[in-house]
Structure 1
């Protein structure tokens, strides 16, 4: 009996090439999109730099390149620099910072998040002068989310940052830290209309030289602030922005501040603002443990050597005149050299008692403490009747 089974029909070979062809088309389209977007990076960066230059911040990039194909963009800037003009009150001295390399990364699937990495070191110098400061770190990175429309959050983190003053080949330490983090977010409003900014600064193992002796020893800090009164985020010089902030009745609220330096712990909260002269006014309510350590660190001994403030004597020793006391110290030194200095040093205990009398007893983290106000009056910083610092005007 003959075999009646029909022969199988052959499928057209062209169908086998549909999937590879589609894949090739998609890959070509994706490549075209990536390279077009990569070409736009330079255009956008130049437009942003031109806008910043109008505000006195001139950014430059010695060599720019784009990589990361196919799923992300890696924009590398070698020999980066920024020159700052008209960013501080008073004399306007052009200032230039240089950085070896910055790399900015954006993922295709997460285009509103930018991550940047900074390569150390960086140098700071007045324009036309050799570097006066050198900044170093082991890891430096930042992130901004919400771009390109409205930035919602931004962070910058440094591990083991250090700042040295450079004079010829000699480097003098100015600041050190084990770790620094600064986080900011848009709490209310928008970048175009009355933004309210919340920020958190965290410092671990920080120390600062040549500012105040109390900052020379290592300390940890955790500070949360809230800034209101900004008009917008339009690029402009900082003095102009501060002036605008003052005119709008803006202020900085210290929501939480905790600083620890060995046994000394300080917490504070309050509000600071600017007056019409660009100086800081306001008051912080502080609670401090180990206040006895602050007395010599604030240089009160030097105050006593130069003359005891009458306001202090009125609190510590009512009825005693400052001139009479200074004459007494001089007479003691004439009779027995050095005796007046010993008496002045012992008088620090009286000053401490005077400061304690300004506040009230409190408890902080299970330890005895004192609570008192820290006042800012026209830029001067007062711990009770004693002036312990001066902040320069911001515009």
Structure 2
């Protein structure tokens, strides 16, 4: 038969169906891999819970569920509770999510309220509009933590502090271990629009406050494994110190900036040395000295190199407060010192 009269060859059916077969094999392999990762995640979680229970820390994840197929691993708890000899805590629904291709990065979202009860009679309850955390692990070790809370509010009471009622527009916390020293941790905290009644009495005014803290904690551990008092005593005996790289407070026209370090003394009281600068807090010592005449404000003003309040012709400009060096602050033997002055009505109690 002449070549030009032969019928055209049909396209190979293998070529037609091969992409579909490969796609189906890929889906089957991906699904199998997802279920393997899910099983390993749950097994790792169970092993961690058992290890915690053996160390005296009991975690309970009620109505646990695992999902997220095909690209994520999601572990949810209808509620989460924690119990230790000296402490109990509970949360609402908690959801932890990680991408299959990035299992070491976990995003956590928690619903309130958070209820904490600590011995002997401390009870705290916290609520928020949104609370999210990001935790990064690498090579099996914790690398970084970030936590954000929108509209948090904390209420409670304890024998040491009395009633607590704190609120803020936003709160952030960050933590990471020093890559060169696993026992040292870098910490950062910030609040926006915080309402802190004790701070109103201390600094003056009733405006919301913005507060930033950058700290460095030496001789740190990952998580407390014993009672709080035992942990603090072990930290003290190990020579632990809290390096205060920055404390910055902005409250209306008032500004406070501090740096220094802190530790615990033999009587378990805070011991600290701080330096810094302030603006708009000339009357800072008045509440401590029981002074209503302005003498304390003038005294602090003299220490700061400022004229007496009565001789000040213009009020402080809230848009451009003038910062003044603050005399050294010391917390020693349970007492607070500003420069050479001991504040008589202030006592710093032992922490444990």
Q: Structure 2-normalised TM-score?
A: 0.82
Give the Cα–Cα distance (whole angstroms) in 1 for the partners of residues 49 and 13 of structure 2: 56
Give the Cα–Cα distance (whole angstroms) in 2 for the partners of residues 387 and 56 of structure 1: 43
**Aligned-pair CA distance for 1:392:** 3.8
Distance 1:145 1:385, change over 3 A: same
**Aligned-pair CA distance for 1:205:** 1.3
Q: 2:215 aligns with which of 211, 225, 244?
A: 225
- Where does residue 37 of structure 2 map in the other structure? 37
- Where does residue 252 of structure 1 map in the other structure? 242
Q: Structure 1-normalised TM-score?
A: 0.73
Structure 2 gap segments, 5+ residues each? 158-162, 308-318
1:375 and 2:330 are equivalent in the alignment: yes
Count of residue pairs brought into register by the alignment: 330
SS in 1 for 2:93: strand
1:159 and 2:104 are equivalent in the alignment: no
- Where does residue 168 of structure 2 map in the other structure? 177
Give the Cα–Cα distance (whole angstroms) in 1 for the partners of residues 283 and 53 of structure 2: 47
Give the Cα–Cα distance (whole angstroms) in 2 for the partners of residues 259 and 251 of structure 1: 22
| Residues 179 and 205 in structure 1, CA contact (< 8 A), matched pair in contact too | yes
Q: 2:189 aligns with which of 201, 212, 215?
A: 201
Distance 1:273 1:165, change over 3 A: closer
**Aligned-pair CA distance for 1:213:** 2.9
Work out which structure has the larger RCO, using CA pairs closer than 8 Å and 6 or more positions apart in sequence: 1
Distance 1:32 1:182, change over 3 A: same
The 5-angstrom pairing of residues 1-395 of structure 1 reads 3-5=2-4, 6-54=6-54, 56-85=56-85, 94-125=86-117, 132-147=123-138, 149-165=140-156, 174-189=165-180, 194-209=182-197, 213-214=201-202, 217=206, 218-230=208-220, 232-233=221-222, 235-237=224-226, 238-296=228-286, 298-301=287-290, 345-346=292-293, 349-360=294-305, 367=322, 369-383=324-338, 384-387=341-344, 389-395=346-352
**Aligned-pair CA distance for 1:146:** 2.4
Structure 1 gap segments, 5+ residues each? 86-93, 167-171, 305-344
| Residues 253 and 321 in structure 2, CA contact (< 8 A), matched pair in contact too | no
Question: Which structure shows the higher helix fraction?
Answer: 1
Alignment root-mean-square deviation, CA: 3.2
Larger radius of gyration: 1
